[in-house]
């Protein structure tokens, strides 16, 4: 029952935020980096954040979430507030990075650090190395989720997929909570979007996924690879695009439209088609994790699939 209530909360809040944003002209304007063609309200991620944190508190007081995970996720309030201000006032990159660094350190501290990195043949257990890795991973997840929030339904459907996939693999009421918090917003963002998520939503989702990854990897080192595989559509695109732009001698801080999903829309695919195909790809990747017992083989199979798909996208719209 609580999940239905929270779904309605997210749905209603998104509707109210949409109307308020239209009334106050708080819309995302079309620019060179945009994948949309008409000014559209943004800030729908506020509904996701409010629903998520209300639900988290409910889970805590009903003892349905581990205390360590609860407090680590609660740190996400900071990134949500700062990102909301960024949506309104466009904070400098330096300010955003400082806040993201603080949030990453705080969340990692609450988790008790990151224990080890299992590389199959050996494990890295040096706490200095593992925690440096975890710190930068949190920052990267926050930013890459923001980078890939660019077309209708794409970021929201990724979060819903990860929520349900993780629930099937790990259990946990917090995954169902995240699913309903995003689904209420996604109704208004699907296909012909009536409102966008904004940084307030995308950075929070990126932070949550990073915390889930580290929390479950601390319980069982193999879980790190499960999360890496499940989130691979996003990190693969963002990371490969970053490397390619660096090799091209581009200024990495410069806005661009070179991610795979953006190039597909430039090639004539609708937002709806790109999002639906990404959902299908995610389901295929989930099958790798679910049916291939050796997690490293599952990872290699996933990489092969992603490389093949990237070559196809390159043939549709070359990376230049």
In tens, the pLDDT along 177-213 reads 999 999 999 999 987 888 999 999 999 999 999 999 9
Q: What is the span of the domain harbouring residue 174?
A: 2-316
Q: Collapse the DSSP code of 118 into the 3-class scheme (helix H, G, I; strand E, B; otherwise coil) and give the result.
A: strand
For the chain, what is the domain count? Answer: 1
What sign results for the dihedral spanned by CA atoms 253, 259, 264, 269?
negative
Task: State yes or no: pLDDT of 159 exceeds 60.
Answer: yes
Residue 304's alpha-carbon distances to 30, 229, 263, 300, in angstroms, are 36, 12, 20, 6
Percent of the chain with pLDDT over 90: 78
Residue 1: pLDDT band (50, 70, 90) is confident
Mean pLDDT of the chain: 92
The model carries a pTM of 0.94
Paired residues of 96 in beta bridges: none
Residue 228: pLDDT band (50, 70, 90) is very high
Alpha carbons 134 and 58: distance in angstroms, whole number: 28
| Overall average pLDDT of the 125-141 stretch | 96
Q: Any idea which of 55-59, 67-71, 245-249, 274-278 has the lowest mean pLDDT?
A: 245-249
Close Cβ partners of 69 (under 8 Å, ≥ 6 residues apart): 174, 211, 215
Residue 255: pLDDT band (50, 70, 90) is confident
């Amino acid at each position: 029952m609580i999940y239905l209530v929270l779904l309605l909360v997210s749905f209603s809040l998104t509707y109210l935020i949409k109307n308020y944003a239209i009334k106050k002209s708080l819309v995302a304007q079309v620019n060179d980096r945009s994948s949309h063609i008409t000014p559209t309200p943004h800030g729908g991620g506020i509904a996701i954040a409010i629903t998520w944190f209300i639900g988290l508190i409910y889970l805590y007081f009903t003892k349905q979430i581990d205390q360590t995970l609860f407090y680590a996720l609660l740190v996400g309030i900071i990134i949500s507030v700062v990102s909301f201000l960024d949506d309104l006032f466009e904070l400098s990159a330096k300010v955003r990075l400082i806040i993201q660094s603080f949030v990453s350190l705080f969340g990692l501290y609450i988790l008790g650090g990151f224990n080890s990195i299992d590389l199959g043949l050996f494990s890295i257990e040096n706490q200095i190395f593992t925690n440096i890795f975890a710190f930068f991973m949190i920052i990267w997840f926050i930013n890459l989720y923001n980078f890939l929030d660019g077309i209708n339904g794409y970021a929201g459907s990724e979060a819903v997929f990860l929520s349900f996939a993780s629930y099937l693999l790990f259990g946990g009421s917090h995954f169902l909570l995240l699913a309903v918090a995003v689904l209420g917003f996604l109704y208004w963002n699907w296909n012909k979007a009536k409102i966008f998520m904004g940084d307030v939503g995308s950075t929070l989702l990126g932070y949550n996924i990073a915390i889930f990854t580290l929390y479950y990897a601390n319980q069982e080192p193999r879980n790190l690879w499960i999360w890496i595989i499940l989130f691979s559509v996003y990190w693969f695109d963002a990371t490969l695009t970053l490397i390619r732009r660096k090799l091209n001698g581009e200024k990495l801080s410069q806005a661009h439209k070179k991610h795979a999903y953006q190039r597909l829309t430039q090639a004539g695919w609708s937002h709806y088609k790109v999002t639906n195909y990404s959902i299908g790809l995610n389901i295929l990747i989930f099958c790798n994790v679910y049916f291939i017992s050796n997690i490293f083989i599952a990872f290699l199979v996933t990489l092969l699939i992603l490389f093949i798909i990237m070559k196809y996208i390159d043939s549709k719209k070359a990376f230049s």
